[in-house]
Amino acid sequence: MDRLDLGMQLSIRRVALLFWRAVRRRCPNCGGSGLFATWLTFNHRCPTCGIALERGEDGYQVGSYMFNIIASELVFATIFVTVMVATWPSPPWELLLWGGGALMLVMPFLLYPFTKTVFLAFDLVFRPASHDELRTGAIGRR
The contact set with Zn ion (CB under 5 A) reads 27, 29-30, 32, 46, 48-49
Smaller CB separation from Zn ion, 50 or 100: 50
Smaller CB separation from Zn ion, 47 or 92: 47
Smaller CB separation from Zn ion, 107 or 133: 133
In whole angstroms, how far apart are CA 102 and each of 68, 81, 108? 16, 16, 11
> Smallest distance, Å, CB 134 to Zn ion?
8
> Smallest distance, Å, CB 29 to Zn ion?
4
> Smallest distance, Å, CB 28 to Zn ion?
8
